[in-house]
Amino acid sequence: MNIKFLGAHNCESQDTRLLSLVIDDSLVLDAGGLTSSLSFSAQQKLKAILLTHHHYDHVRDIPAIAMNFYLSGATINIYSTLPVYQVLAAYLLDGKLYPNFLERPQENPTIKFNVIEPYKPVQIEDYSVLAIPVNLSIPAVGYQVTSSNGKVVFYTGDTGPGLNACWQQVSPQLLIIEVTAPNRYEEFGRESGHLTPSLLKQELITFRELKGYLPQVVTVHMNPLLEKEIEVEIASVAKDLDSPITLGYEGMQLHL
């Protein structure tokens, strides 16, 4: 399993992109910084896009990728839970901002939307995909993706603390988890549903108690303006837990 980090931050600039990961050049997790990171030919190889929740920084490039597929006569599969689909259909893909790619072209619409249910594994291409609810202010899930040769990654999307129930459902070798802000923003994190390094530490301690191990951990969704501070604090968490935790970045590639 090859995992490319197209966008690893919560704010966009010339140096940072919004959240988007791609597995084996075919399965996309969130579509924040998708199109600007891939050539047209790389885009055409994509088979499916999984969306964790409907916030703009995770769904922004859906209309853009759909236009590219539409113009080349191809189709793309998108997967999410029902609440995410309902918001996208009502506000982003309703035909006002841009064409309604859920219905155009009439004979073979560009977007094939698939609503999935939490806790029910679905087979998508060569992967078993499991959506597990996380703790955000709106409905949100993380995705566990298991390859045909048994490699397992869990991507949380955006989440606040309190992942005990989530951890019970997953057993990843690689955990890609959000850490939005440094420790002094803990109150903000608890209120808005985001993690800081110290909140992450508590979640990882719980994980280890439950599962008896810690996976390799890569953080995403960092606020670029606060990243230096986050980096120092993450290093301290990794040292305390005696386990590797690294910050994700645009262009990062991991092999499982």
Contacts to Zn ion by CB under 5 A: 57, 158
Cα radius of gyration rounded to whole Å, the chain? 18
Sign of torsion over alpha carbons 181, 183, 188, 191: positive
How far is the C-alpha of 74 from the C-alpha of 67, rounded, in Å? 10
- Find the largest Cα–Cα distance for the chain: 58
Query: To the nearest whole angstrom, how small is the minimum distance from the Cβ of residue 216 to Zn ion?
Result: 22
**Distances from the Cα of 55 to the Cαs of 168, 172, 212, in angstroms?**
26, 25, 34
- DSSP secondary structure code for residue 142 in this structure: E
CA 110 to chain centre: 22
| Residue 57 or 203 having the CB closest to Zn ion | 57
